[in-house]
Chain A
Amino acid sequence: MEFDPTRTWVASSRLAASEIGNESVVLNLADGKYYGLNDMANRVWRELQQPRSIDQIAAALTAEYEVAEDQARRDVTQLLSELHALQLIVAVP
């Protein structure tokens, strides 16, 4: 399924994840592959523990970091597209 930036997204339930320091480690139970998310990606990952749209996540980032809303939205879109390709997030029906 292609990534649709207009949908609401949430972390997949077929994962094990843990935050260590300022990073998260995510293990995809479907294929046994694991990933490290640091800095802003970790902050986005925290948001994705609940269903979130790209706009909601971008708003959370702009409130916390010195980043323009447009740039935040582009960054979040790119990251969510990658997380989707890795099957770490799923669209909320």
Chain B
Amino acid sequence: MTRSRQGESYVLTYSDVGSFTIAPNGDQITCQPHPGVPDKTVRQILLDQVLPLILSRQGAYVFHGSAVALPSGAAVFLGKSGQGKSTLAGFLAREQFPLLADDCIVLTPQNGRLFVQPAYPGVRLWGDSLQCLGATENDHPLVREGRTKRRLTTPQFAHEPVPLRRFYFLTGASTPDVEIGKLEGAGIVRQMLESQFVLDPFDERELKTSFAGATAVARTGLCYHLSIPRDFSRLAESAGRILQHAATP
């Protein structure tokens, strides 16, 4: 995806899909798909990539991650692509804990707390993750033509905002056992800023919002690093440890 400006508007161009032109305040999107691009592909880009950037433009705190509603509150998983965010969220959703979001996390401050907003009931997974969740790869649609991830619909879905309970930063390291440790200090803000959706990184207003979101999360004292064994057969053990950890004060 490339970003450019057309007057005051923003233009997001996807070489294999088309372009999305966004009004300066984000209240209007004009989509110009290439001929023959299926509507479902346009819808997926709009939902997973364009709307998160517009929400950021409009002042929301928007992070790249996955979230589920646990009995103790919302657990959010952040980390780089391929580190297991969606797999963990999909596994927990299969275990009857409602999914909140996969890919785009929107946090809303309310009465001194942060709430995770529900997005839509689906996670995006690669074939091996689908199989470990007991799903047959070909039963689930590709997220986008020409890509390898597929969308798994999750019957368990949270329809209301859920108060934030834990923010887990997946380290990507494969450890022999589940390791969870508290994150403190300014370093969290750097990680939060790097996990955010921002339409215009040169716009002071949007930068301030992004910074306010990152520091709001850092101040909660609910941020932890998480390393899990990179072994699908031990996913239940990792999920159990997370449940236990999220339930502790």
Interface residues, chain A, with chain B CB atoms under 8 Å away: 14, 16, 18, 20-25, 27, 29, 32, 34, 36-38
Closest CB-CB distance, A30 to chain B, in whole Å?
8
**Chain A residue nearest in CB terms to B219:** A20
Interface residues, chain B, with chain A CB atoms under 8 Å away: 184-190, 193, 201-202, 204, 207-208, 211-212, 215, 218-219
**Chain B residue nearest in CB terms to A36:** B186
A25:B202 contact, CB within 8 angstroms: no
CA–CA, A36 to B219, complex, Å?
15
**Chain B residue nearest in CB terms to A16:** B211
Contact residues in A for B215 (Cβ distance below 8 Å)? 18, 20, 25
A32:B201 contact, CB within 8 angstroms: yes
B202:A16 contact, CB within 8 angstroms: no
Closest CB-CB distance, B59 to chain A, in whole Å?
14
A27-B211 in contact given A20-B185, A32-B202, A38-B185 (Cβ < 8 Å): yes
Closest 3 CB pairs of A and B: A18-B215, A23-B186, A36-B186
B204:A29 contact, CB within 8 angstroms: yes
B208:A24 contact, CB within 8 angstroms: no
Closest CB-CB distance, B193 to chain A, in whole Å?
6
Q: Which of B184, B193, B211, B219 has the most CB of A within 10 A?
A: B211
Contact residues in A for B184 (Cβ distance below 8 Å)? 21
**Consensus secondary structure, chain B interface:** helix
Contact residues in B for A23 (Cβ distance below 8 Å)? 185-186
Among B186, B189, B207, point to the contact of A32 (Cβ < 8 A).
Answer: B207
Closest CB-CB distance, B53 to chain A, in whole Å?
16
Contact residues in A for B207 (Cβ distance below 8 Å)? 16, 27, 29, 32
Among A22, A36, A37, point to the contact of B187 (Cβ < 8 A).
Answer: A36
**Chain B residue nearest in CB terms to A23:** B186
Closest CB-CB distance, B56 to chain A, in whole Å?
14
Contact residues in A for B218 (Cβ distance below 8 Å)? 18, 20, 25
**Chain B residue nearest in CB terms to A24:** B186
Contact residues in A for B186 (Cβ distance below 8 Å)? 20-21, 23-25, 36-38
**Chain B residue nearest in CB terms to A27:** B211
A29-B189 in contact given A20-B215, A20-B219, A21-B184 (Cβ < 8 Å): no
**Chain A residue nearest in CB terms to B208:** A16
Instruction: Offer 19 A-B interface pairs, CB within 8 angstroms, sorted by A.
Output: A16-B208, A18-B189, A18-B211, A18-B218, A20-B186, A20-B188, A21-B185, A23-B185, A23-B186, A24-B186, A25-B190, A25-B211, A25-B215, A32-B202, A34-B193, A34-B211, A36-B185, A37-B186, A38-B186
CA–CA, A22 to B189, complex, Å?
14
Contact residues in B for A18 (Cβ distance below 8 Å)? 189, 211, 215, 218-219
B202:A34 contact, CB within 8 angstroms: no
**Chain A residue nearest in CB terms to B201:** A32
